[in-house]
Each structure stands twice: as C-alpha cells, then as structure tokens.
Amino acid sequence: MRREVGSNGGSVLSLSSAAAYGFLLALAVGGFLVIRRLGLSLKAPAPGPAAELFGVVGGPHNVDTLVHVLLALAVVIVTARAVGALFAFVNQPAVVGEVLAGILLGPSLLGRVAPAASAYLLPPSVAPFLGVLSQVGIVLYMFLVGLELDSKLMRTSSHATVAISHASIVVPFLFGSALALLLYPRLSTHDVPFTVFALFCGVSMSVTAFPVLARILTDRGAHTSRMGVIALTCAAVDDVTAWCLLAFVVSVANTRMGGGLLTAFLSIGYITVMLTLVRPAVRKLVELQERRGTMTKGVLAIVFVAMLLSALATEYIGIHAVFGAFVLGALVPHDSRLARELTAKLDDVVVVLLLPAFFAYTGMRTKLGLVSGVEQWTLCALIVVTASIGKFGGSSVAARVMGLPWVDSAELGILMNTRGLMELVVLNIGLDLRVISPTLFAMLVIMALVTTMATTPVLQLLSRFPRSKDHDGPYVPDRVPV
C-alpha cells in the first residue's frame, strides 16, 4: 500500500489506512475494557499498619532543616554532575547518571553502607522541602519541554507518523494494563481500585522521553536526517498523547468517588481558554519580543505568572500542575525569539540546580532493598521486558507496516523506548497518589533506567546493518512511501 505525502505535510489517507487506524483505537479501548473486567474480580491484600492509604497525602511536618537542605543540594549537585559526566563519557545520556546519583545518595546505597552520613546529608526531615523544590523544578522543566516541542512537526506530520506514534502508545498501554492483572494481587492493596492501577500501569509503559531522545539524536548528528525527523515527530505526538493520558488517569484517581464529569468539564474549559484566549495573547507577546529584540524583566514576569496560573489551574482541576506548565510552553512557537531566550535563561538553572533536587527526592523514595527474592526480581524483569517489547514492538511493527525498512523501523522502535526523566515524573505522580506501592515504584524506576541505558548501545549495534539509501539524508516528505 502506498500513500503520497504532499509538500505541505498533508496527505490523502486511503480508506484501508483509515480503517486500520480506527481499528487500532478501537483495539485500545476494547482491550482495556476486557482487562478491566478481568481485573475487577482480583483481590489485593490489605495495606500494612504503617502504610498510607490510596489518595492520602502525608500530614504536616515539623522540621527546621535549612542547613541540611542547603548541604543536601550542594552534595546532590556535585554528585549528579560527576556521575552524569561519567555516563556521558561512556556514550550514555548524562541524565541517566544524574538520576542514578540521586538513587546512590538515598537508602539504596549510601543509607546501607554509611547510614550515619546518609542520616546527616539526607535525613527524612529534608524530604518535604526537597519535595517542594523538586515539584517547582519539574513544573519549570515541563514548561521548557513545551518550549522545545516543535508543534510544526505535529501539524505537518503525515498520517504515517501519527499512526506510528499512536501505535507506540496503544501497544505498550495494553501490555502494561494486562500486566496489571499479575501485579495487582502482589504489589498493590485493596484500597487502590484496579481500574486506576491498570490505567497507571498502562501509562507508565507508554512514556517516551522526548528531550532525551532529541539529545541522543543531536549528539549523533542525526536530528536532521530522515529517520531523525521521523523519530522526533513521533516522539512529539507521543509526548502530547501520553501527557493527556496521564492527565486523564490522575483525574480518575482524584475523582473516584464521583465528580468525574466535573473534572472533564473543567478540563475542556481549560483547554478552550488556553486555545481561544491565551494562545492569541502569547502570539502578541512573541511579536512584541521580535520587535524589541531583548527580553525585559516585565516580559519575563508576565511569562512566569502565566505559567504559574496555568499550572495552578490544572492542579485545581485535578490533572496535576505539570500539565498546565507543559501546555503553556507548547503554545509558544518553538523557533521564536521568546522561546529561545526563555530557554537560555531557565535551562541551566533548572537542569543544574532544581532537577538534582528532584533526583535526590526520587532517590530517597527509591528503596531497591524492597525488591527482594526470586519472585519480585522476576516481576521486575518481566516489567522491563513488557515495557521494552510493547514500546519497541508497537513502534517498529507500525513503522514497517507504514513502509519503512526493517532496520529503520527497529531503530525507530529503540528510540521510542527511551524513557528517562519523563518516566520518573510519571512515577512520582503515581507514588504521590498512592496508586503504586514503594516496591512497584522501585521496579518501575529500574525499568526506566534500563530502557534508557539500552538505547545508545542498541543503536550502535543497528548502525552496522545496511541502511536505506536516504536514511542519513535530509528529510523530504515527498520521498516517504507508505
């Protein structure tokens, strides 16, 4: 089957392709409903006496630990930069090393080998403060991700790339939801509804780290190649779709006692306001910035206030503040002076100062010692395999069906299997909501690290195979037969 893609990025989709695409979406919905029906009969054990119930956030903390917070930040920044540089030296994404640094400083390593040092550098009383700093950092980071998102890729993408991207979400989502049938009786508790648990497992398997993927392609000099642009386009569509799915799951978790219609109504109202009122205002601000040439503090303040209000709105609705920050960032044109200057001003502070706080906070919550025994490590391995097969299989098979050669399809599948920091954001949200247990959280963190670390060596292995003649050439939509 062939489909010609026009020079304007549009395409004429055959009836058979439309039917296949509709079947894919119907499969996702129908498959999850079948999984949900099977899971409703499952029984999870009761939560332990010290466990916090699903949806209950911890109570107030009475601490005065400014010295420990400042010291912890300093140690975390130094460790994150050092381990990140070491990973970059061995051709691994630096963010993997930075995430691992947070875990090494937590109870999984430092807490075991030097408990006194761990208790002084990262005492439990520091966690609430690191949590607040990390949340602010992640809100700013997701704003930056939105700024880096090239919306033109989605507007000019062919039906083929959209179909590949959605297949890379639907397949791992169904795989993760099905795996919930096995995980729920073993790693959850009966106060967590199976529907919410299965939805979250599906979303956690579906995430692709768009920023990490872009960095890998840029480091390899492949971001302007045919395959690079296809991968970036698929990841962009994947990112938006996955965050919409996460927003839906969070709203379901927060409104399980009723009120789902109100959440949906408020979400639609929020999107309407952002598209009809905020987007035109952003365009005027962009035009003003283009004329002035230099960003003033007044413009920066306007942007920050708009971002905070957008994040506050989505937090109030019940779909998490990171979604609001991401949406506002995505409304700013990717190649505008405003986007470039905002990125230049924020990127280093967020990446060097605030994200390490998130890594440390994640490390304090990641207790690898909870994963013990043959059964639990087998489940952990199964999670890694399921996530990899779902993401790689869904992407590569869909790419092959759409006309890409097998080697290119496999490379695309490996790139889409990169999860990185985006996965940790999702997992921390799930842990905050008490949808997942600390043990499952640790397993999913391991999955995020393994799938991200596997990307570069597998790409190097695939580079030894013969390529299609225009694999490394510039991306020309008219040459992509599907």
pLDDT at 377: 95
Q: Which of 74-78, 104-108, 437-441 has the lowest mean pLDDT?
A: 104-108
pLDDT at 58: 45
* Residue 296 buriedness (CB in 10 A; 0-12 / 13-18 / 19+): exposed
pLDDT at 221: 65
User: Is residue 22 very low, low, confident or very high in pLDDT (cuts 50, 70, 90)?
Assistant: confident
User: Is residue 147 very low, low, confident or very high in pLDDT (cuts 50, 70, 90)?
Assistant: confident
Q: How far apart are CA 423 and CA 179, in angstroms?
A: 18
Question: Can you name the residues that pair with 225 across neighbouring β-strands?
Answer: 474
Average pLDDT, stretch 424-444? Answer: 90
pLDDT at 249: 82
pLDDT at 14: 59
pLDDT reading at 468 higher than 70: no
Which DSSP string do the residues of 99-116 spell out, in sequence order?
HHHHHHTSTTTHHHH-HH
Average pLDDT, stretch 388-411? Answer: 88
Please state, as a whole number, how many other Cβ atoms lie within 10 Å of the Cβ of residue 189: 17
pLDDT at 51: 61
Q: Which of 6-15, 30-39, 107-116 has the lowest mean pLDDT?
A: 6-15
Q: In whole angstroms, how far apart are CA 215 and each of 71, 218, 235?
A: 30, 5, 12
Tokens describing residue 440 = 């499952």
For residue 330, give the amino acid letter: A
User: Is residue 92 very low, low, confident or very high in pLDDT (cuts 50, 70, 90)?
Assistant: confident
pLDDT at 318: 74
Q: Which residue has the higher pLDDT, 317 or 439?
A: 439
Q: How far apart are CA 80 and CA 28, in angstroms?
A: 39
Q: In the chain, what are the domain boundaries?
A: 64-466
Least Cα distance to 174 among 386, 39, 31 occurs for 31
Q: Which of 3-17, 102-116, 215-229 has the lowest mean pLDDT?
A: 3-17
For residue 446, give the amino acid letter: I
Average pLDDT, stretch 146-167? Answer: 73
User: Is residue 469 very low, low, confident or very high in pLDDT (cuts 50, 70, 90)?
Assistant: low
User: Is residue 109 very low, low, confident or very high in pLDDT (cuts 50, 70, 90)?
Assistant: confident
Least Cα distance to 134 among 437, 420, 365, 362 occurs for 362
pLDDT reading at 41 higher than 50: yes
pLDDT at 467: 60
Rounded to 5 degrees, φ, ψ at 6 are: -75, 165
Average pLDDT, stretch 423-442? Answer: 90
pLDDT reading at 114 higher than 90: no
Average pLDDT, stretch 460-469? Answer: 72
pLDDT reading at 103 higher than 80: yes
pLDDT at 179: 95
Of the ranges 118-127, 323-332, 461-470, the best mean pLDDT one: 323-332
Q: Which residue has the higher pLDDT, 125 or 354?
A: 354
pLDDT at 438: 92
Q: How far apart are CA 252 and CA 259, in angstroms?
A: 9
Q: How far apart are CA 41 and CA 162, in angstroms?
A: 36
Average pLDDT, stretch 322-347? Answer: 88
Name the percent of the chain lying above pLDDT 70: 83
pLDDT tens digit sequence for 377-397:
999 999 999 999 999 988 899
Average pLDDT, stretch 265-277? Answer: 88
pLDDT at 8: 45
DSSP helix/strand/coil, 3: coil
pLDDT at 223: 59
Q: Which residue has the higher pLDDT, 468 or 68?
A: 68
pLDDT at 174: 94
Topology of domain 64-466, per CATH?
Answer: Na+/H+ antiporter like fold (1.20.1530)
The pTM of this model reads 0.79
Which DSSP string do the residues of 243-291 spell out, in sequence order?
HHHHHHHHHHHHTTTS-HHHHHHHHHHHHHHIIIIIHHHHHHHHHHHHH
